[in-house]
Structure 1
């Protein structure tokens, strides 16, 4: 008899009806709990069984994939082994390494037909000079001088770019100022390759050719320079004509104010940034000293004081008893000779300024030819600021090589150099230099060297 039957029977004598109801209710609750617990246990077992079956299923798939991959590797190794046995010329190397390596190189096809045409022996001399601002013989001289530094060896992947083409890329870029993307198309090379070549060749020019073609003259050469300048102007002991020009640049990311060129901005009504090039030239317009890279906000006087020439003259006695002629932007010093700056000038002072102006023009015209030959100096360059001194130094060296080899310049290429003379705050550094200038001025007038332009 189950609990339900007991609960349905009539209560026995001696027990109350309330107690019987409570007992039956308790039994029902217990029965429900047992049924509920049994149901939960069944569900739990079912879920565990499903999870176990899933693990077995996926483990089987993983094992199948592992076996397939293993079979594929074995098949590939077998194929490679069979191929090596059938190819005795491949040597002992394996695919992907060693001497037997077989690689397919994907190289973008570019046309270098223009350079091939220029490189022909029968290419017209006039056309070559128009393109590269120099004759074939001067170009060959530069290539020979740089060959040991610039030449590269062929590799297993590609042939090295010839020295002539490396030098040509650099000189063309400096001569025309063309963007690298156009230089790339013209020579059939990548843009990054052209950029690298320009910097490499410029660096080689500066390190190899500058010591040979741009140096302060020795005593014998200085004697000749003094004679030539004196024959032109009547001023004795002049060893150089000095000038400072500005090269336009894109606004730098740092120290922008330092490179801001106030004078160019006011004159051109356009914000300008620049770096400076100070140069001393001989009577033929050949640079004997350069100072490159100081910010465009600096005056000529400040650039001079930062130059190595100034330090050598100050401490080493390099310029004792001689003159370097400059314009009104420089101060009068024991070795720097400049014109009279006051407005009311005597005949003697006018005469002196006229003759010293002839020496000044030598440097101004030299810078005009420098910028005319190398048009990159007239445009805001793409070259990074830290690389500019290398490029500008190479331009000065190439200018000297052209001048020394009597390479004329197309009159259409000559550039007028705008003078930004700013009178220095301290225009006279020593009383002795003032007296020396007065003596030179009186001597010019006394010996009838002075002209008549001031009359």
Structure 2
């Protein structure tokens, strides 16, 4: 008989231990049975079948015993499965508890960090207040002494820089020639500008720092305009921060335009117009001239927007590299003082386009330049009712040549004025680092300062003189704006030749 095997039996030795008593008894019974069967085999053959049946019965009993013995193993397996499930659930719960604990620890650390940061800020704030209080006590103690304090304590929020150069220049014994070389004007003119600007640019002291004096503010601005040095060098020269110098320069230039321009750069009144007519006529013999007009270009770095509008074709051809500029149109009186300026238009515009954008053009359209007054311009302007320009066509007559020679003497007045303007203020000769939107403020301040120097008869160092290169595009004669102006110019040319005012080349 084949005994069925089970997959769940854990150990054969375990089964043998359980079945050992029953198997021993079964072996003893089997031996006795065989002896009895041997004795009976001779007596009766029919006794064999019952014996076999009896043996089969015992085998069935053995099978039942085995099944009963294996039944606890099935229960044990089910029990183990239950234990595994419970253990898995417990592990999941432990993992969840661990994650929650770690999260709590992280949040606690973050809270502790924030708390430490807040505590550190409070500590620094208290320290700053204590230092401020000590400074105030020191100032109060010095004031209580009723005498000048010689304690040079270090101010809060101020970096210790050397301003020895400016202190030397500001000393009363500093030579006049050296002062004029540094700031393009004498001490008296400098003092006058400081006095005029004082109500606008003066600042008061604070508990943390002393205000920069007005004289130093003006000096920073004039030095920057005169030399064109970058802000880094200006900062080192005056012992101030770069951002402070930039701010001071814009503030002073703005004050010059708002306070001094209306006083030192204005269109002449009737009395001055008569005076200018007489002086220009004595120069050239051309009557009714009230001003000499010229347009110059100021180099700039390539702008970030609308770059083609500022592209200067003539400068590019001359310098053999891309050049960009803004324009300054100025009208000068016989002394070279500007009476009208138009500043900041893109360098690609022609002289006539710049003129059309100016306040002078609007003034002429309103009839304020009537009664035969002339503003003399170069060949970059068209001939108009109030703009007198030289002849530009080919094959000129002697009369026309004579007129062009005399009108150049008037043109020279404005060109020389621009030469002195750029010579005094070197920032106009270099590609400036000033922002494009701030450039008109700086250029306007330079024009006003130029007029002040001319009014005060400030002589310019010959080494500073520059040559002004013509940038105008010659306008052909077909661009005439008025037939009456053409007839008036021909009459002037005729009178010059026949009244002895022709140039020496025609004698």
What is the TM-score of this pair, normalised by structure 2? 0.77
Cα–Cα, structure 1 residues 36 and 336, in superposed 2: closer, same or farther, change >3 Å? same
Deviates more, 1:20-29 or 1:156-165: 20-29
Counterparts of 1:204 and 1:16, CA distance in 2: 124
Q: Partner of 2:4 in structure 1?
A: none
Q: 1:36 to 1:393 in 2, by over 3 A?
A: same
Match of 1:30 among 66, 75, 78: 75
Partner of 1:88: none
Task: Please show how residues 136-285 of structure 1 align to structure 2 within 5 Å.
Answer: 136-285=187-336
1:309 to 344, 348, 360: 360
Q: Judge conservation of contact 1:214–1:400 (CA < 8 Å) in 2.
A: yes
**Separation of aligned partners in 1, 2:399 and 2:93:** 117
Secondary structure of 2:418's aligned partner: helix
> How many angstroms does 1:420 deviate by?
2.0
Q: CA deviation at 1:19?
A: 8.6
User: Which of 1 and 2 has greater Rg?
Assistant: 2
Q: How does 1:389-428 map to 2 (within 5 A)?
A: 389-424=440-475, 426-428=478-480
Asked if structure 2 preserves the Cα contact closer than 8 Å seen for 1:275 and 1:293, the reply is yes
Q: Report if the CA contact (8 A) 1:94-1:100 is conserved.
A: no
Q: Which runs of 4+ in 1 moved over 4 A?
A: 7-27, 42-67, 93-104
Aligned equivalent of 2:186: 135
1:45–1:102 Cα change, 3 Å: farther
User: Cα offset for 1:383?
Assistant: 0.3
1:386 aligns with 2:437: yes
2:420 matches 1:369: yes
Q: What 5-or-longer segments of structure 2 have no aligned partner?
A: 1-8, 24-55, 136-154
Q: Which of 332, 346, 367 matches 1:295?
A: 346
Please identify, of 49-58 and 168-177, the stretch whose mean Cα deviation from structure 2 is larger: 49-58
Q: Give 1:236 deviation, angstroms.
A: 0.8
1:125 to 165, 176, 187: 176
Q: 2:504 aligns with which of 447, 452, 455?
A: 452
Q: Who is 1:85 aligned against?
A: none
Tell me, yes or no, if structure 1 residue 436 matches structure 2 residue 488: yes
Alpha-carbon distance change, 20 to 256 in structure 1, aligned in 2, over 3 angstroms: farther
Q: Is the 8 A contact 1:285 1:365 kept in 2?
A: yes
1:326 equivalent in alignment to 2:380:
no
C-alpha deviations, 1:127-160, integer Å up to 9, x for none?
1001110000000010000000110111111000
- Three-state SS of the structure 2 residue aligned to 1:297 is coil
**How many residue pairs were aligned?**
438
CA contact (8 A) 1:95 1:101 kept: no
Distance 1:50 1:19 in 2: 47
1:208-244 residue CA offsets vs partner (Å, 9 max, x unmatched):
1001100101111111011100111111110000000
TM-score normalised to structure 1 length = 0.86
Gaps of 5+ in 1: 80-92
Structure 1 stretch displaced more, 29-38 or 357-366 = 29-38
Do the aligned partners of 1:243 and 1:280 also contact (CA within 8 Å) in 2? yes
